[in-house]
Amino acid sequence: MINITKISDDYIMALSALIQSAFIVEKIATSSKEIDNDLKVLLESIYKTETFSAENIYGHKRNLSIGLNVLKNILNGNNEVYLMNTQKYALSMILIQKNISKIKDLQDLIRKKIDNYNENSMMATNFEDLISYSEKIYTEYIAIIRPRVIISGKKEFLEVNSSLIRALLLSGIRAAFLWHYHGGSKWQLMFRRSEILNKCNNFFI
């Protein structure tokens, strides 16, 4: 991990990706509203492990505009229920990332599954296959990590979107790893809140 003295673009993009994953989970767990913007970008990011550049992983900043806007609302202290849920899921994913980072054998197993995906050129397969493979990684290796992410929502939406929710949780954890690499920690969300918000407000898309 690198130590930083300022909030970088990579830092903001990774944090926005984490928040975007958490936000979409919240939305598809509570409503039938379609959230198809940049879902593929989030899920494909799981398998881009050869770079620490957020731009190389997520592409243009606009792909994370949903997450950036939600992040700004959270940092501004908006306490709407959907934002509180989004923040709760994001913090859970940060904690899971921290716990995974302490277990090298588990990291190696996850990396092996990701490498297998890439080696077999599965990135070119359809979107449903991408969701299915990502869900399998989450179920086999991440769901056993405590604390578990408890998703609040309506039963019918939780059931129909269960695979996508797990895949998105995996993408959020991947973003948490990248954010941590670029100096992110949950304490900064409290003690550097104003600085992060200022960077977000000047983060042009």
pLDDT tens figures, 168-188: 999 999 999 999 999 999 999
Mean pLDDT of 102-129: 86
The token duo for 162 is: 């269960």
If residue 42 lies in a helix (H) or strand (E), which one and from where to where?
helix 39-45
Going by pLDDT thresholds of 50, 70 and 90, the confidence category of residue 125 is low
If residue 145 lies in a helix (H) or strand (E), which one and from where to where?
none
Q: How many Cβ atoms are within 10 Å of 139's Cβ, its own excluded? A: 15
- 147 has pLDDT over 90: no
Query: Which pLDDT value is given to residue 128?
Result: 87
Going by pLDDT thresholds of 50, 70 and 90, the confidence category of residue 2 is very low
Least confident of 8-17, 47-56, 144-153: 144-153
57 close to 51: Cβ distance less than 8 angstroms: yes
At the topology level, CATH places domain 9-201 in YcfC-like (1.10.3890)
- 139 has pLDDT over 90: yes
Indicate the residue type of 24. I
State residue 87 phi and psi, 5-degree precision: -65, -40
If residue 124 lies in a helix (H) or strand (E), which one and from where to where?
none
Going by pLDDT thresholds of 50, 70 and 90, the confidence category of residue 17 is very high
For residue 63, which of 95, 41, 86, 46 has the smallest C-alpha distance?
Answer: 41
Query: Which pLDDT value is given to residue 1?
Result: 47
Distance of CA 147 to the CA centre of its chain: 16
Return mean pLDDT, the chain. Answer: 91
Mean pLDDT of 20-39: 85
Query: Which pLDDT value is given to residue 99?
Result: 95
How far is the C-alpha of 39 from the C-alpha of 127, rounded, in Å? 9
Spans of all domains in the chain: 9-201
How far is the C-alpha of 64 from the C-alpha of 41, rounded, in Å? 9
Query: Which pLDDT value is given to residue 202?
Result: 92
Give me the DSSP letters along 58-103. H-SGGGGHHHHHHHHHHHTT---HHHHHHHHHHHHHHHHHHHHTT-
**In this prediction, what percent of the chain has a pLDDT beyond 90?**
80
Least confident of 53-67, 72-86, 141-155: 141-155
For residue 135, which of 18, 52, 66, 46 has the smallest C-alpha distance?
Answer: 46
Q: Sign of the C-alpha dihedral, residues 75, 61, 33, 91? A: negative
66 close to 84: Cβ distance less than 8 angstroms: no
